[in-house]
Structure formats: structure tokens, C-alpha cells
Amino acid sequence: MSMQLIWQIFSSFFKIGAFTIGGGYAMLPVMQRDIVDRLGWLDEQEFMETIAVTQSAPGPIAVNTAILIGKQMAGLPGVIAGCLGAVLPSFLIILAIAIFFRNILNWQPALNFFAGVRPAVVALIAHVAWKMARKLIGNTASLLLFLTSLALIIFVPKLHPIFIILGSGIATVIWASSQKQQGKEA
Amino acid sequence: MWTLFFTFFKIGLFTFGGGYAMIPLMQEEIIAHNWLTLAEFLNIVAIAEMTPGPIAVNSATFIGYQLYGVGGAALATFGVVAPSLIIMVIFSHLLAKLRASKYSVALRGVAITVTALIAAAVLGLVKPAFTNYADVAIALAAFVLVAKTKISPILIILGSGLLGIVLYGYIL
């Protein structure tokens, strides 16, 4: 296993960690550009599978994703490189704030910076959703699944996403086997 | 210090879905240990929101430092990610198995549902993030730039932040 790959895993997730402002899905735009478009480690389908797994498990999604992709690319050294990369930017920044800069919440330029970033991040995440939808929704059945999932998430907020993800997987297996059945009968 | 590690291990282990889902349990644990007052805790959440990285990691680092200095920060941070390290290595095997099995088609549906989750998250973020016309303009500009040019999302994030400094500091 090459050191270069380990370094790439570390530096990619360091970059992702450093620019995940606003938590959770804010990591997606940088990750998509870096891991999917630039490095080609995952395609869109695998990228969404990865997010499904990492958000169905306990722990911060960005850290989970770094560990999962690190593991798949380079085994245990990849796990350590990904995890360190994802955690180190937060760790260093928070440490600096805790030591030198406790009143950052009263420092107006920092608040203004964040006020500018917040709407941009929403747009960037929207673009990821748009790109994934265009790539993955190819027929009526998949569009139906997308809309059903969306409706469940929005209108049944008490239903944890894990169950919607599981239900979707099971429904797809059933649908696929019924298609096969029809194929045989025809 | 063992309590610090163990508490953040527990927070990492029992909070599904990341981010904001982790805050209630964190709050309970941290207040129960008398590590911070509620006001201090909310302050840290606010700082974590506007600094990069997962909120759980940010809080762990801050509280760890508060209690035992840099070593405490490292220990609490390690505690909060340790469950992920174990669980994700197991899930990685399971995912590989599922991909190779006859049920792999399930993942095609799963990917579509995750896309719907992201879309729903965007819809939920629109209201809190868009408070005035400048916000809408920044969002539209960011979308057009990321969709139509090769400019990296990192530059767009930095640019929008600088725009925020100029706009809210000197113009509006």
C-alpha cells in the first residue's frame, strides 16, 4: 500500500473537515467534489450508499464517512488516516478558540463571516441533492421511491431515517424480484 | 479523566444521525457532571455551529480542554470518535457483503432514499438560513457557481464568508 494513498486520504478528509461549517450535510459539497469528481474513489451510487451507512450508525457523520472510505481504500491505515484527517481541523480550531479566543461569539466579523457562509452552504448542499437525483433517478419507479421517501421524511418527522432507509432497501428488493418474476412469465 | 473519556465514548455511541441529534444527550451528560453550566454549554454549541467540523467533536475538544488542558481535549475527542472507529470497521464488512450478495439491488433504493434525505435537509435549512434578500442572492450565486463553473466549493464557502464580512460589516 502506497504512502501516497494514505496521504491522499488524510489530506482529503482534512480539507473536508476544515470546510464542514454548519455540521452534518455541510460536508457533502466538498466531499462530492473531492472524493467523487476529483479522485474518483466512489461513483454517485456508492457515495449515497456510503452516506446511508454512515448516517445509520452512531457518531458524527463526517467522522463515520472518513473511517468507512478510509477502510475501503486502504484498510486499517486508511481508517486512521481518514479519522485523523476529519477530526484534526476541528480539534485544532477549537483548541485555539479555547486557549486564545473565548469571546469569538462577540467578535462581529466572525459572526458576519458565518452569516455569509450559511446561505451559500444550503445552496451547495442543494446542488449535491440535485446532482445525485439527476444521476440516480432513471425511471418512474425510482422517481416514485424518491417522492415517497421525501414525503415520509417531511410529514412523519418522528420516523427515524434509519427505518426509511431500511424500508426503501427492502421495498427495492421486493420490487426487483417481482420484475424478474414478470420477466419469466412474459 | 477516565470519566471524561467514558462520557464522550457514551455520547459517540448513543447518538445516531450526527449533528443536532447529539446535542440533547450531550447536554444531559455535561450538566449532570457539573462540567459546565447550561449557558456555557449553549455557548459552546454556538461556537461549534460556526466553526468547521462535527459538533460532537467540537464540544468534546472544548470541554476536555476546559477540564484537563490539551491532554483532556485529546482524550475527550478520542472518546467521542472511538465508537465510530469500531462500528464503522464492522459496517464496512457488512456493506461489502451486501454489495456482493443477491440482495445488492437494495442499495439502489437506499441511495435514492438518501438523496431524498439530503433534499429534505435542504428544505428544512431554507427557512433558518434565508433571513433577507442578501441571503437569497448569496445562495443563488453559490448555486450557479458550483453548477456552471469548476470553482471549488471551498472557494465558494470562503468567498461567501468574505462577502458576509464586507456586506454586514460595512454596507448593510
Q: Is the pTM of this model over 0.95?
A: no
Question: Nearest residue of B to residue A125 by CA position?
Answer: B122
Minimal Cβ distance to B115: which of A109, A123, A146: A146
Whether residue A186 is predicted with pLDDT greater than 60 in this model: the reply is no
Lowest mean pLDDT, pick from A45-49, A95-99, B49-53, B153-157: B49-53
Sign of CA dihedral B147, B151, B154, B156: negative
The reply to whether B13 and B61 lie within a common domain is: yes
Confidence of residue A86 (pLDDT cuts 50, 70, 90): very high
The reply to whether B122 and B88 lie within a common domain is: no
Distance CA A65, CA A47 (A): 10
**Could you report the per-residue pLDDT of B47-91, keeping only the tens digit for each?**
887 888 888 888 899 999 989 999 999 999 999 999 999 999 999
Q: pLDDT higher for A78 or B127?
A: A78
Q: What are phi and psi of B16, to 5 degrees?
A: -90, 150
Minimal Cβ distance to A60: which of B52, B57, B146: B57
Q: Crossing angle, helix A61-100 and helix B38-50, to 10 degrees?
A: 110
Distance CA A131, CA B163 (A): 26
Minimal Cβ distance to B161: which of A108, A113, A122: A113
The reply to whether B73 and B28 lie within a common domain is: yes
In this prediction, residues B130-139 reach a mean pLDDT of 93
The reply to whether B78 and B138 lie within a common domain is: no
The reply to whether B73 and B138 lie within a common domain is: no
Closest Cα in chain A, distance from residue B64 (Å):
10
Residue where a domain terminates, one of B50, B83, B100: B100
The reply to whether B114 and B141 lie within a common domain is: yes
Q: Tell me how far CA of residue A118 lies from CA of A16, B30, B49, B66, in angstroms.
A: 16, 28, 10, 28
DSSP string, A46-98: HHHHHHHHHHSSBS-HHHHHHHHHHHHHHHHHHHHHHHHHHHHHHHHHHHHHH
Q: What pLDDT does residue B45 have?
A: 83
Q: What pLDDT does residue B78 have?
A: 96
Q: Scanning the structure block, which residue is given the C-alpha cell 427557512?
A: B127
Distance CA B111, CA A51 (A): 8
What is the residue range of B16's domain? 2-100
The reply to whether B74 and B129 lie within a common domain is: no
Q: What pLDDT does residue B19 have?
A: 62
Whether residue A89 is predicted with pLDDT greater than 80 in this model: the reply is yes
The reply to whether B28 and B82 lie within a common domain is: yes
Residue ranges of domains in chain A: 3-106
Distance CA A116, CA A111 (A): 9
Confidence of residue A179 (pLDDT cuts 50, 70, 90): confident
Number of domains in chain B: 2
Whether residue A168 is predicted with pLDDT greater than 80 in this model: the reply is yes
The answer to whether B58 contacts A111, with C-beta atoms less than 8 Å apart, is: no
**Chain B interface, mutation test: which of A19, A122, A179, most B Cβ atoms within 10 Å?**
A122
Residue where a domain terminates, one of B57, B80, B100: B100
In this prediction, residues A140-148 reach a mean pLDDT of 95
Q: What pLDDT does residue B134 have?
A: 92
The reply to whether B128 and B95 lie within a common domain is: no
Which run of H or of E encompasses A132?
Answer: helix A108-136
Burial A80-103 (b: 16+ CB within 10 A, else e): bbbbbbbbbbbbebbbebbeeeee
Q: What pLDDT does residue A20 have?
A: 85
Whether residue A49 is predicted with pLDDT greater than 60 in this model: the reply is yes
Considering chain B, what percentage of its residues have pLDDT values greater than 90?
61
Lowest mean pLDDT, pick from A2-6, A43-47, A144-148, B41-45: B41-45
Confidence of residue B18 (pLDDT cuts 50, 70, 90): low
The reply to whether B7 and B91 lie within a common domain is: yes
What residues in A contact B153, CB-CB < 8 Å? Answer: 19, 29-30, 33, 124
The reply to whether B7 and B90 lie within a common domain is: yes
Confidence of residue A103 (pLDDT cuts 50, 70, 90): confident
**Could you report the per-residue pLDDT of A23-36, keeping only the tens digit for each?**
678 899 999 999 99
Residue where a domain terminates, one of B100, B117, B138: B100
Closest CA to B23 of B53, B54, B1: B54
Minimal Cβ distance to B113: which of A28, A76, A149: A149
In this prediction, residues B143-170 reach a mean pLDDT of 94
**Chain B interface, mutation test: which of A39, A112, A164, most B Cβ atoms within 10 Å?**
A112
The reply to whether B110 and B40 lie within a common domain is: no
Distance CA B91, CA B38 (A): 35
Closest CA to A76 of A167, A9, A171: A9
Whether residue B131 is predicted with pLDDT greater than 70 in this model: the reply is yes
